[in-house]
Amino acid sequence: MRIVVSSQGDNLDAPASTVFGRCPTYVFVDTETMAFEAMPNPAMSQGGGAGIAAAQFVVNQGAQAVLSGNLGPNAFDVLQAAGVPGYMVSEGTVRQSVEAFNGGRLQSTGGASVVAHAGMRGGGRGMGMGRNRQPVVPVQPQPDTGQEAELAELGDTLKSLRQQLAETMERIEQLEHGGHEIRQSGEKKED
């Protein structure tokens, strides 16, 4: 199985990182052979959206599980949509984290372990919702509707959030690739 550990360094004896989206390095490890490949985190210095970009990166590299100290809600949502589970690592090296995973000693995250924008300098204050984005309004349970109706309502909300996430990820990718093409060719790309 190919897993990834957020890391402070580029080998199995490097300390595991307490953050996911802005860690310096990802160490991809084959859990059977302990063969590894270290890659710098391309999202580490990103102004915003680091969790989403980092999660897309590790999914694109074939990670089947993520071991990290913390996962923000955006990263968690991307990983969950891709069917990649997250596991909490609190201390130790990359090697120790993989050994704990192999031994079944790591706790599944089951959800985001930090609030949105927790890894950003300044805690993400001042970040706008983006253009054409509607605020996410939590669904309030209706006392008379019962559990099935509430589950259906929550399911609809989840579907809407996943659609917004997919659209946001697609737009980020378009902007990243569009900006890259402009820099390479020196010409302005027409939309």
Domain with CATH 3.30.420.130 in the chain: 2-102
12's CB contacts (< 8 A; 6+ apart) are 27, 29, 34, 36, 93, 94, 95, 98
What pLDDT sits at residue 86? 94
Structure-token pair, residue 141: 């349970």
pLDDT (tens digit, 9 = 90+) per residue, 1-57?
Answer: 999 999 999 999 999 999 999 999 999 999 999 999 999 999 998 878 899 999 999
Looking at domain 2-102, which of 3.40.50.1000, 1.10.540.10, 3.40.50.10860, 3.30.420.130 is its CATH number? 3.30.420.130
Return the closest-CA partner of residue 74 out of 136, 138, 10, 11: 136
Structure-token pair, residue 42: 């391309």
Phi, psi of 81, rounded to the nearest 5 degrees: -60, -30
pLDDT (tens digit, 9 = 90+) per residue, 95-104?
Answer: 999 999 999 9
- Say if strands 66-68 and 36-40 run parallel, antiparallel, or are unpaired: unpaired
Instruction: Order across the sheet with 25-30: list the strands.
Output: 36-40, 25-30, 2-7, 66-68, 86-88
CA dist., res. 150 & res. 16, Å (int): 40
pLDDT band at residue 111 using 50, 70 and 90 as cut-offs: low
CA dist., res. 56 & res. 50, Å (int): 10
Three-state SS at 179: helix
CA dist., res. 134 & res. 131, Å (int): 9
Three-state SS at 14: coil
Q: What is the pTM of this model?
A: 0.61
